[in-house]
């Protein structure tokens, strides 16, 4: 069943197909197409020896980084803080965040006693 829009379109355009190909258009189409394309240059041969050094260097870097990570995987980080130092650092950071100075801390501690 045709919708109202389709009916309107058929009234305006009719039933015939407005898209037509001219007679003989596809005969000789390839020749016309290739005549319009720019002429290409001769293919260039590239030696793989120049790129071989790049690939070899990349492999050496990957093997070096991989072996360094493999052999050093059991070493613990030396910058780790002890638990007491970590707790002290946490309190200092909390006090800095709260903007509490030493005088306020001393006043709070004397009031608590």
Asked if residue 36 belongs to a domain, the reply is no
86 assigned to some structural domain: yes
Query: Which residues, including other chains, have CB under 8 Å from residue 10's CB and lie 6 or more apart?
Result: 2
Structural domain total, the chain: 1
Contact present, 81 and 89 (Cβ < 8 Å):
yes
First to last CA, the chain: 93
- Spatial separation of the C-alpha atoms in residues 64 and 73, rounded to whole Å: 14
Q: What is the pLDDT of residues 23-32, one digit of tens each?
A: 888 888 888 8
Inside any domain, residue 25:
no
Structural domain span for residue 100: 48-72+81-112
Which pLDDT belongs to residue 23?
85
List the pLDDT tens digit at each of the 113 positions of the chain.
778 888 888 888 777 776 778 888 888 888 888 888 887 777 777 777 777 888 899 999 999 999 888 888 766 555 556 788 888 888 888 878 788 777 888 888 888 65
pTM of whole model > 0.85?
no
pLDDT reported for residue 39? 79
Is 105 inside any structural domain? Answer: yes
Please indicate, yes or no, if residue 91 is contained in any of the structural domains.
yes
In a domain, 9, yes or no: no
Kindly state whether residue 24 falls inside one of the protein's structural domains: no
């Amino acid at each position: 069943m045709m919708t109202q829009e389709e009916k309107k379109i058929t009234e305006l355009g009719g039933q015939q197909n407005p898209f037509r190909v001219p007679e003989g258009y596809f005969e000789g189409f390839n020749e016309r197409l290739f005549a319009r394309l720019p002429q290409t240059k001769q293919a260039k041969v590239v030696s793989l020896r120049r790129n071989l050094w790049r690939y070899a260097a990349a492999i050496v870097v990957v093997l070096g980084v991989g072996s360094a990570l493999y052999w050093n995987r059991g070493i613990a980080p030396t910058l780790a803080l002890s638990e007491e130092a970590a707790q002290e650092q946490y309190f200092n950071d909390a006090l800095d965040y709260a903007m509490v100075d030493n005088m306020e801390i001393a006043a709070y501690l004397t009031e608590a006693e």
